[in-house]
Amino acid sequence: NAGVTQTPKFQVLKTGQSMTLQCAQDMNHEYMSWYRQDPGMGLRLIHYSVGAGITDQGEVPNGYNVSRSTTEDFPLRLLSAAPSQTSVYFCASSYSLSPSLDFGPGTRLTVT
Amino acid sequence: QQQVKQSPQSLIVQKGGISIINCAYENTAFDYFPWYQQFPGKGPALLIAIRPDVSEKKEGRFTISFNKSAKQFSLHIMDSQPGDSATYFCAASIQGGSEKLVFGKGTKLTVNP
């Protein structure tokens, strides 16, 4: 199993540009989520999904959109990037009702 | 409101020493307390976890101590090694899935050779 995969690994955007961070998992996990990690702030939940077709907001959802059309994929969209969205983004997944998360390797995003 | 408070923010330990990271919580409904380990440039990975029906759990050199009455739990790393240098996150969850998992802000551990 590849586990949780994320692309790209690094990305630089200009303010106002849009992009999609890709996340995929091959473990048939029902639950998928996106976190952002900033220095001194820990891991903050952006959006999550408990299954295909179901998404919900986390702690810091503003400026981000998600969709879940398949069990395997959970892309994160930035519609109009802002410097405040400079961060490291992690996708994570788990079985339903399991509190144990499997994290991807992360995407380092810089918005100038 | 920060639901899980973690300290210290950074920790430097000599090789062979004991590393101790502490976390405190307020919500008594939490029933699962994991620790995640993150190496530079990598995603966090589950290290060890405990439920509140036990006061201690040990896996190799890593031990979680849990004090339900004080609403505190801690990670002890015995015989710390340079390879243990990483960021450690405590977390807590309420009865169910990962969407209810809340993280502490992390502790950067450096173990000097």
DSSP string spanning B53-83?
T-SEEEETTEEEEEETTTTEEEEEESS--GG
What pLDDT was estimated at residue B97? 64
Phi-psi group of A75: left, alpha or beta (phi > 0 → left; psi -120 to 50 → alpha; rest → beta): beta
Question: What is residue A67's three-state secondary structure?
Answer: coil
Distance from CA of B102 to the nearest CA of A (A): 8
Count of beta carbons in the 10 Å neighbourhood of residue A107: 23
**Chain B partners within 8 Å of A90 (Cβ):** 43-44
d(C-alpha A83, C-alpha A111), whole Å? 5
C-beta of residue B64 within 8 angstroms of C-beta of residue B48: yes
* Structure-token match 């630089």, residue found: A12
pLDDT tens-place values along chain B, 113 residues long: 568 999 999 999 999 999 999 999 999 889 899 999 999 999 999 999 998 889 999 999 999 999 999 999 999 999 999 999 999 999 998 866 666 788 999 999 999 99
Asked if B104's CB is within 8 angstroms of A101's CB, the reply is no
Distance from CA of B88 to the nearest CA of A (A): 10
* Per-residue model confidence as pLDDT tens digits over A35-77: 999 988 899 999 999 999 999 999 899 999 999 999 999 999 9
